[in-house]
Structure 1
């Protein structure tokens, strides 16, 4: 039996980014908010923010603060989404190299 290898096209988000490489709008970022349940039964927000122009991960970073705790999963996810929007706005004003 021969197992064929699957070949996938590189689906980098850079294809959708601005041509000069500098972020210009919020659409140059991807925000992935979610939540985690803690051992005590509360929820914390979990977030990943990626700048698509250079595929740089803006959040989380070393020493990043915890988002929460919250009583419900919905609150935790909404707080993570708000934090992501704040980070995008801040990075648009002063992009990291």
Structure 2
């Protein structure tokens, strides 16, 4: 099995070592993972994870976060998830959650 040349950042939910909270200064300091779930019968919902790469902090989802959708198409659900991810990134740059 061969690996692709592009590496994705490792998502660390429970780090074994503590990392000092480090705010991101631009969009390159964040990783947005957007996808969808659902079906044509129930509608499509966007799924989203936003990780600050400077310290590995998971910014989204959080307890109480509203669901993204439902939407009629997969593309609309993913687009809404990306839009929400961009808003989370911009908000964290303006006022970092440390």
Q: Give TM-score, length-normalised by structure 2.
A: 0.75
> Does the CA contact (< 8 Å) of 2:34 and 2:46 recur in 1?
yes
Residues 79/12 of structure 1: CA separation in 2 closer, same or farther (3 Å cut)? closer
5+ residue gaps in structure 2? 1-8, 12-21
Tell me the CA shift for residue 39 of structure 1: 8.2
Structure having the larger proportion of residues in helix: 1
Structure number with greater Rg is: 1
User: Would you identify which runs of 4 or more consecutive aligned residues in structure 1 move more than 6 Å?
Assistant: none
Equivalence for 1:92: 93
Equivalence for 2:83: 82
Tell me the CA shift for residue 38 of structure 1: 4.9
Deviation readout 1:37-70 (Å, 9 max, x if unpaired): 1584310000000001110000000111000000
Looking at structure 2, the residues matched to 33 and 12 of structure 1 have their Cα atoms a distance apart, in angstroms, of 15
Q: Give TM-score, length-normalised by structure 1.
A: 0.76
Cα RMSD (Å): 2.0
Give aligned pairs, total.
Answer: 81
Equivalence for 1:57: 58
Tell me the CA shift for residue 22 of structure 1: 2.8
